[in-house]
Chains A and B, each alone.
Chain A
């Protein structure tokens, strides 16, 4: 009896699933110019705050563009896939999203360094741009070795250099940094280790003692690490965490060992409102840096609120998160996609038509976000003005330092570049050259 029920159940289930799968495989396309974008989102699990905000903004902006006639008439379409911020799943999502209705994606955004590393070697072969918005593989900034990889706006090595510059300013100059101790407390993944090469190098030059302490993911247990920090008595802690749980736990633990919060500097993707609230008062005073500033009074943000959310098409369930750190960062990333698409259409005489990956890449590389252009788009002041070139895929390389006041982030500095950008650039080039040599890549020559 039970078997019979179960058998019928299985048959019914198989039938339903087969039906549904044919449904989406045969998804018939309509003859309208469209450009297809992938949304490899991470909406569940410990990293959901980041994923919902960031990818929510990308979808909101694409909706906004579509509502205003698309990109020269080309409508944007997209498909989602859940990665759970997991490198293995990101690979599967990449493969799944790669093509839809006969159109191939032109850009991929993993919002996660581990995921970016997992797909980075497929980009050149598949003709897809890997847009790492301030995360990912740093030496991708060398466009000669990595023509398909971009890390505008601003990669982790510039970020750590800006942080160390800020520390030096607080201490009263680089010469005062000698003998100081910095703890790099990081999640034990590619993302947490990413800034280390630049950090070690600068610390050595400045005579700073660098102590590296790792936390295994998902990072909710940090007692032993904080005891170690208490023992080490560092002058500064640079924190490289992921997920609101880990990020807020660090602050409550710091409070427990009485480590001053205004001596902690959080990473871009570890410091958002969602990461600060759970820690309550313990979060007050924490420093963070941003490559896209939060705030909902930028004209574009206000316009999206009015048009997209006004008509009930907003992607976020909680509208108050529009203008938050992650949302604005996703907006910054999506603006670059669309600007690159515009460039690509114009450069290749395809205005009003869909573009290919190679054309999109050229458009992305030609991005020139001047102050005026940012003003036209309506995000002046939200991101630092920048341009991308054939050799330099990093963009501005600038960050603004913010401080959490218990309710929101207050901007402390303007857009700051590293003390010696050429020094960071040199590290990038050396690293990229090493990769090129190991993998028999001939760097392309840039005009």
Chain B
């Protein structure tokens, strides 16, 4: 196997790429990008959803468990974070963030239990429970929403070490920081023994079990870690992008979107989560801007809005036909070609 080497060790170009990426994320973007729109409508939601996609990637792409309910865990994380900050005096934001991730992880373990008995598409149906149960629970019991009459609560400001991070760029930096750490962790888990256990279970669970891998442990671990990522992503999504918390924001549609991000991005790849999130989230925005700016007044606006959806749908089909392994594979191919020219 030629690509055995990608496990366990980093070569020089990996490190250079990483440093370059960090330079772009922490220096280049904050220095050059000044418009609040780019931060608050493009970069922030993209990074939040990419984080949730990594969570989905772990359970689905690596551990091979068809789960559908990422948005439910995001809701759990978001509301946990709100309540922690509300009820625990002087809790540091990052502590609240990690705790809300852990609370989501607890839900992940709970709703991962069916994976021990059912698999494939039936598991997908079983995991839907997380989606509906968590959102229902938050809706049903007013305590979670601090008995707000409208059901939509305002998220608190992010305060870290006495400084409040409220401008789009500051919030972006908080998110980049969290995403960087969690992505590094995910890459390492995927490359290490944890990830290999997941992949073994994904590729053939009976064989994995006979090699001494505990299915119970591995599967639940994948669900827990996946839910942790989704929970943190949900908290960040609510606190930095929506700036309000509402269970409806975390509906089944969002779960599907995250699922598509993972599939289109490429199953079993971490960068696929970022590419997929960018495509699903940003492409409709681009189409809509193009539609409204270029064809403004020329074509009936209702038709433009519908055409955008058609174009987006067609592109998804085209991508899936030409590159079933996802856009991450496309990216790999492109890199390979450039290198070998």
In the assembled complex, B300 has its CB within 8 A of some CB on chain A = yes
* Measured CA separation A231–B168 after assembly (Å): 51
Residue picked from B149, B285, B288, most chain A C-beta under 10 Å: B149
Please classify the interface of chain B as helix (H, G, I), strand (E, B), loop, or mixed, using the class held by over half of its residues: helix
B242 and A190 contacting across the interface, CB-CB below 8 Å: no
* Measured CA separation A80–B299 after assembly (Å): 13
Residue numbers in A under 8 Å from B149 (CB-CB):
193, 196-197, 431
* Measured CA separation A315–B305 after assembly (Å): 14
Known: A87-B246, A117-B246. A439 touches B154 (CB 8 A): yes
In the assembled complex, B309 has its CB within 8 A of some CB on chain A = yes
In the assembled complex, A159 has its CB within 8 A of some CB on chain B = no
In the assembled complex, B191 has its CB within 8 A of some CB on chain A = no
Known: A88-B242, A193-B149, A431-B149. A44 touches B306 (CB 8 A): yes
Residue numbers in B under 8 Å from A23 (CB-CB):
293-294
B244 and A95 contacting across the interface, CB-CB below 8 Å: no
B302 and A317 contacting across the interface, CB-CB below 8 Å: yes
* Measured CA separation A41–B288 after assembly (Å): 12
In the assembled complex, A217 has its CB within 8 A of some CB on chain B = yes
Number of A interface residues in the complex (CB < 8 A): 48
B248 and A217 contacting across the interface, CB-CB below 8 Å: yes
Other-chain residue from B152, B293, B322 in contact with A27 (beta carbon distance below 8 A): B293
* Measured CA separation A48–B306 after assembly (Å): 11
B288 and A17 contacting across the interface, CB-CB below 8 Å: no
In the assembled complex, B37 has its CB within 8 A of some CB on chain A = yes
In the assembled complex, A247 has its CB within 8 A of some CB on chain B = no
B244 and A41 contacting across the interface, CB-CB below 8 Å: no
* Measured CA separation A438–B82 after assembly (Å): 13
* Measured CA separation A304–B243 after assembly (Å): 40
* Measured CA separation A96–B249 after assembly (Å): 20
The proximity string for B residues 281-324 relative to A, scoring 1 for CB distances below 8 Å and 0 otherwise, is 00001101110111010001110011011000000000000110
Other-chain residue from B150, B244, B334, B337 in contact with A194 (beta carbon distance below 8 A): B150
B135 to chain A, nearest CB (A): 9
Q: What residue in chain B is nearest A41 (Cβ atoms)? A: B301
Number of B interface residues in the complex (CB < 8 A): 41
Known: A6-B322, A24-B293. A80 touches B45 (CB 8 A): no
In the assembled complex, B114 has its CB within 8 A of some CB on chain A = no
Residue numbers in A under 8 Å from B333 (CB-CB):
3
A188 and B293 contacting across the interface, CB-CB below 8 Å: no
B28 to chain A, nearest CB (A): 19
Q: What residue in chain B is nearest A2 (Cβ atoms)? A: B322
B286 and A91 contacting across the interface, CB-CB below 8 Å: no
A278 to chain B, nearest CB (A): 18
* Measured CA separation A118–B151 after assembly (Å): 12
* Measured CA separation A24–B295 after assembly (Å): 11
Residue numbers in B under 8 Å from A92 (CB-CB):
41, 45, 285
Residue numbers in A under 8 Å from B170 (CB-CB):
none
Task: Across the A-B interface, give the 10 residue pairs with the lowest CB-CB distance, nearest first.
Answer: A24-B293, A95-B41, A117-B152, A43-B305, A197-B149, A43-B302, A95-B37, A92-B41, A44-B305, A190-B152
Can you offer 25 A-B residue contacts whose CB atoms are under 8 A?
A3-B333, A7-B337, A20-B294, A24-B290, A24-B293, A43-B305, A44-B305, A44-B306, A79-B293, A81-B288, A82-B305, A87-B242, A88-B242, A88-B249, A91-B241, A95-B37, A96-B289, A114-B152, A121-B244, A188-B139, A188-B248, A189-B151, A190-B248, A193-B150, A439-B154
